[in-house]
RNA sequence: CGGGGCGUAGCGCAGCCUGGUAGCGCGCCUGCUUUGGGAGCAGGAUGUCGGAGGUUCGAAUCCUCUCGCCCCGACCA
């Protein structure tokens, strides 16, 4: 491919709206352009990258027996009404009416549609198992699209769905997908983790996410080097360090102390000269069944999602509600002498604590769990790096990550309402057991850029680079330079290696800068200087290491490099 | 949806506070020179100052409304 014939609008300066590294580089290197918030146009280079990623996905999906199909992006509402998601999902679903006034929506995922298909076509256990997938556009009216192509309102997703007769079959398909996903992300050159995740609204018991390491990520995972425990912080357990007592705590008696104008844990902690871990943070929440207290240790933060899982939907009480319900300001709440229902972090099961006295300007010392208050105990704190692994006690590490794939065991969650049933060997009708499995190819691309770049631009992993090699003839008017370029080009193409030739009549500096920015892993630089010595230069984008070699040897050298990378 | 920021030439920005003929750099076009890391010189083109309304003799600048984009948070099947 000739540079002059492919549209690569590189930018010298960074567009103001870009913040994330991948966003900046994909814009600057001429890969994408933004149409509106969360809507992107993929230019030729980006589309080639997507093509390579999707090819890897197709190969690996094929290897586990998945069959590619294609489903509409426009859906009738009634199927979504049958599963209830038409009503459960709010503004995130794009809804519209057709000319006949029928309710429609743009598909944000395809469980409903594929289950409808299964309900129509699968009759017998003999038809099972099936694994169907597609690489197709999804629509989600995100509250806040962000970070370039990382979170968009329209995006391509590889989604597959497994149909089995029983749980054992699901387990097998789930494992196959997990293995295929590991191969896909490894082949795409990503650093990633497979972690336990919250099944959330997808339903089902088991779910894992595939997370690419990146500071631009929206999620955080907890990783244990000791035993391999890995989980999204939304559900990751962790054991906090022991409480730091001063040693002068009294046995059982509680005592109120004046703490004028001190509200936050930090303020009271400094005032009373006690470590934050000696405090109970009490937060008033409004749940479906009325107000309740959430309790965490003073040195910890409450994880609202974890609490939601055990307490149901809730919201933080407003200032005036705190005053009305408890009679004191937020800084003076305590768990003792309160009759409200309480959810407490498990770390509060033991120890002696200071908490708000439930009267203005005072805190109570000497509060003991079980003695002075009872609660429902759960891990509801935000994991920190000072915490220990819940499985093996070793230290844990927190990492920012981008979600690039997920796998869910759905069970009968969709097959039941949509009546996707089959007759088993005994002639008994049973719901199909399902799993659903997603990958975001654009997020793979963005993650690859996030993980592989330097001050000069992108450094693509070989497997998903838009081209394998960029050839840079420095003087396009020079006969020998162009003859050599064409000869090398022909040989490389014969080997199935994809090449971009910068045939533009530009100064060498411009070509070098653009080549580094675009990030094709190898550059072959052909200039008069080198040809005088009978050599061309083979440069690795990542290391900037340059080898001077004879034109006749370039092809085999490139093949050597491609083989190892 | 809550909080913050920004909309001025293709891109990056200044001008706004304190109203008075809209500027700079890069890019673009022409010519000459140059040709191994975003060239030099000379000449040139380019603006509904996001939009609407208002104040004023006069608005990019002040006021009101509105649209869009970005960031933080909430949300995220």
CATH code where residue A543 lies? 3.40.50.800
Q: Among chain A residues 324 through 343, which have CB within 7 angstroms of nucleic chain B?
A: none
- For residue A385, being part of any structural domain is answered with no
- Closest to A364 in 3D by CA, of A259, A243, A248: A259
Are A257 and A317 within one domain?
yes
Are A428 and A510 within one domain?
no
Confidence of residue A200 (pLDDT cuts 50, 70, 90): low
Q: How far, CA to CA in Å, does A276 sit from each of A59, A231, A297, A355, A374?
A: 54, 27, 8, 11, 21
Q: Among chain A residues 108 through 167, which have CB within 7 angstroms of nucleic chain B?
A: 108-109, 111, 140, 142-147, 151
Are A229 and A283 within one domain?
no
What's the pLDDT score for residue A310?
Answer: 87
Domain with A205, as residue range(s), is: 3-236+398-449
Asked if the model's pLDDT at residue A322 lies above 90, the reply is no
- For residue A383, being part of any structural domain is answered with no
Q: Which nucleotide is nearest to A533 (CA to C1')?
A: B36
- For residue A89, being part of any structural domain is answered with yes
How much is the average pLDDT of A284-297?
Answer: 88
Are A372 and A262 within one domain?
yes
How far apart are the C-alpha atoms of A331 and A283, rounded to whole Å?
9
Query: Which H helix or E strand runs over A400?
Result: strand A396-411
Percentages helix, strand, coil for chain A (3-state, rounded to 5) are: 30, 30, 40
Asked if the model's pLDDT at residue A165 lies above 60, the reply is yes
Are A483 and A522 within one domain?
yes
Are A195 and A278 within one domain?
no
Nucleotides on chain B within 7 angstroms of protein Cβ: 1-2, 6, 11-13, 25-27, 34-39, 68-77
Lowest-confidence range among A51-65, A187-201, A403-417? A187-201
> A346 exposed, middle or buried (CB, 10 Å; 0-12, 13-18, 19+)?
middle
Asked if the model's pLDDT at residue A563 lies above 60, the reply is yes
Asked if the model's pLDDT at residue A251 lies above 70, the reply is no
Are A292 and A200 within one domain?
no
User: Which of the two residues, A439 and A322, has the higher pLDDT score?
Assistant: A439
User: Which of the two residues, A239 and A249, has the higher pLDDT score?
Assistant: A239
Are A338 and A423 within one domain?
no
The CATH number of whichever domain residue A84 belongs to comes to 3.30.930.10
How much is the average pLDDT of A373-382?
Answer: 93
Domain count of chain A?
3
- For residue A391, being part of any structural domain is answered with no
Q: Among chain A residues 20 through 49, which have CB within 7 angstroms of nucleic chain B?
A: 20, 23, 28, 34, 36-38
What's the pLDDT score for residue A202?
Answer: 57
Are A314 and A431 within one domain?
no
- For residue A384, being part of any structural domain is answered with no
Count of all residues that appear for chain A in the document? 565
Asked if the model's pLDDT at residue A247 lies above 70, the reply is yes
Lowest-confidence range among A94-98, A102-106, A337-341, A428-432? A337-341
Asked if the model's pLDDT at residue A201 lies above 70, the reply is no
Asked if the model's pLDDT at residue A205 lies above 80, the reply is no
Confidence of residue A311 (pLDDT cuts 50, 70, 90): confident
Are A47 and A182 within one domain?
yes
- For residue A337, being part of any structural domain is answered with yes
Q: How far, CA to CA in Å, does A343 sit from each of A179, A335, A368, A438?
A: 38, 10, 15, 34
Q: Write A202-206 long-range contacts (CB < 8 A, 24+).
A: A202/A111, A202/A408, A202/A410, A202/A413, A202/A436, A203/A408, A203/A410, A203/A411, A203/A413, A204/A408, A204/A409, A204/A410, A204/A411, A204/A413, A205/A409, A205/A411, A206/A174, A206/A408, A206/A409
Confidence of residue A565 (pLDDT cuts 50, 70, 90): low
Note the CA–C1' distance, A16 to B5, in angstroms.
Answer: 12
What backbone phi and psi angles, to 5 degrees, belong to A81?
Answer: -70, -35
- For residue A161, being part of any structural domain is answered with yes
Are A281 and A141 within one domain?
no
Asked if the model's pLDDT at residue A376 lies above 70, the reply is yes
Three-state SS for A299?
Answer: coil
The CATH number of whichever domain residue A255 belongs to comes to 3.90.960.10
- For residue A500, being part of any structural domain is answered with yes
Q: Among chain A residues 48 through 87, which have CB within 7 angstroms of nucleic chain B?
A: 85
User: Which of the two residues, A316 and A484, has the higher pLDDT score?
Assistant: A484
pTM for the model stands at 0.95
Confidence of residue A321 (pLDDT cuts 50, 70, 90): confident
Residue A435: strand pairing partners: A162, A409
Asked if the model's pLDDT at residue A158 lies above 90, the reply is yes
User: Is nucleic acid strand B under 7 Å from A215's C-beta?
Assistant: no
What's the pLDDT score for residue A208?
Answer: 96
The residue from A388, A414, A449 where one domain ends is A449
How far apart are the C-alpha atoms of A137 and A70, rounded to whole Å?
10
Asked if the model's pLDDT at residue A188 lies above 60, the reply is yes
What's the pLDDT score for residue A203?
Answer: 56
Note the CA–C1' distance, A19 to B26, in angstroms.
Answer: 21
User: What's the pLDDT tens digit per position in A391-423?
Assistant: 999 999 999 999 999 999 999 999 999 999 999
Are A436 and A560 within one domain?
no
Note the CA–C1' distance, A507 to B32, in angstroms.
Answer: 17
What's the pLDDT score for residue A199?
Answer: 77
Note the CA–C1' distance, A224 to B35, in angstroms.
Answer: 56
How much is the average pLDDT of A22-49?
Answer: 95
How much is the average pLDDT of A510-538?
Answer: 96
């Amino acid at each position: 491919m000739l540079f002059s014939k492919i549209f690569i609008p590189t930018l010298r300066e960074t567009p103001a709206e870009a913040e994330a590294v991948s966003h900046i580089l994909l814009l600057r290197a001429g890969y994408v352009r933004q149409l509106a918030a969360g809507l992107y146009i993929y230019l030729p280079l980006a589309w080639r990258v997507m093509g390579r990623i999707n090819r890897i996905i197709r190969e690996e999906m094929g290897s586990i027996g998945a069959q590619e199909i294609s489903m509409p992006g426009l859906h009738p509402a009634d199927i979504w009404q049958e599963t209830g998601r038409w009503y459960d999902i709010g503004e995130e679903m794009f809804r519209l009416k057709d000319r006949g006034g029928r309710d429609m929506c743009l598909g944000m995922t395809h469980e409903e549609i594929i289950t409808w298909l299964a309900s129509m076509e699968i009759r017998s256990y003999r038809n099972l198992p099936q694994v169907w997938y597609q690489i197709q556009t999804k629509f989600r009216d995100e509250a806040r699209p962000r970070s370039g192509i990382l979170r968009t309102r329209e995006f391509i997703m590889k989604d597959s769905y497994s149909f089995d007769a029983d749980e054992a079959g699901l387990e097998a398909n789930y494992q196959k997908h997990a293995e295929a996903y590991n191969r896909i992300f490894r082949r795409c050159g990503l650093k990633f983790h497979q972690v336990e995740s919250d099944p959330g609204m997808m339903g089902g018991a088991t779910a894992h996410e595939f997370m690419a390491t990146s500071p631009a990520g929206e999620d955080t995972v907890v990783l244990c080097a000791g035993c391999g425990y890995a989980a999204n912080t939304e559900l990751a357990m962790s054991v906090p360090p022991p409480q730091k007592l001063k040693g002068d705590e009294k046995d059982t008696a509680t005592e109120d102390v004046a703490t004028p104008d001190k509200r936050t844990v930090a303020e009271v902690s400094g005032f009373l000269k006690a470590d934050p871990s000696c405090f109970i943070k009490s937060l008033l929440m409004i749940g479906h069944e009325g107000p309740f207290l959430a309790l965490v240790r003073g040195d910890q933060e409450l994880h609202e999602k974890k609490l939601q899982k055990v307490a149901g939907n809730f919201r933080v009480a407003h200032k005036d509600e705190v005053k009305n319900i408890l009679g004191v300001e937020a800084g003076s709440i305590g768990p003792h002498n309160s009759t409200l229902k309480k959810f407490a972090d498990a770390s509060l099961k033991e120890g002696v604590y200071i908490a708000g006295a439930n009267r203005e300007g005072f805190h109570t010392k000497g509060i003991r769990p079980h003695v002075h208050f009872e609660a429902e105990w759960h891990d509801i704190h935000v994991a920190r790096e000072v915490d220990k692994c819940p499985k093996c006690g070793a230290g844990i590490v927190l990492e920012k990550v981008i979600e690039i794939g997920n796998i869910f065991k759905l069970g009968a969650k969709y097959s039941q309402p949509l009546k996707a049933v089959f007759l088993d060997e005994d002639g008994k009708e049973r719901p199909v057991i399902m799993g659903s499995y997603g990958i975001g190819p654009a997020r793979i691309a963005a993650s690859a850029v996030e993980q592989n770049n330097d001050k000069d631009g992108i450094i693509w992993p070989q497997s998903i680079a838009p081209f394998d090699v960029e050839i840079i003839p420095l003087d396009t008017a020079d006969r020998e330079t162009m003859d050599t370029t064409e000869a090398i080009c022909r040989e490389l193409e014969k080997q199935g290696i994809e090449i971009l030739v910068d045939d533009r009549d530009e100064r060498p500096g411009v070509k070098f800068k653009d080549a580094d920015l675009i990030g094709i892993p190898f550059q072959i630089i052909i200039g008069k200087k080198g040809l005088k010595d009978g050599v061309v230069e083979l440069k690795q984008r990542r290391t900037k290491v340059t080898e001077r070699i004879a034109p006749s040897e370039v092809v085999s050298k490139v093949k050597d490099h491609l083989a190892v990378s």
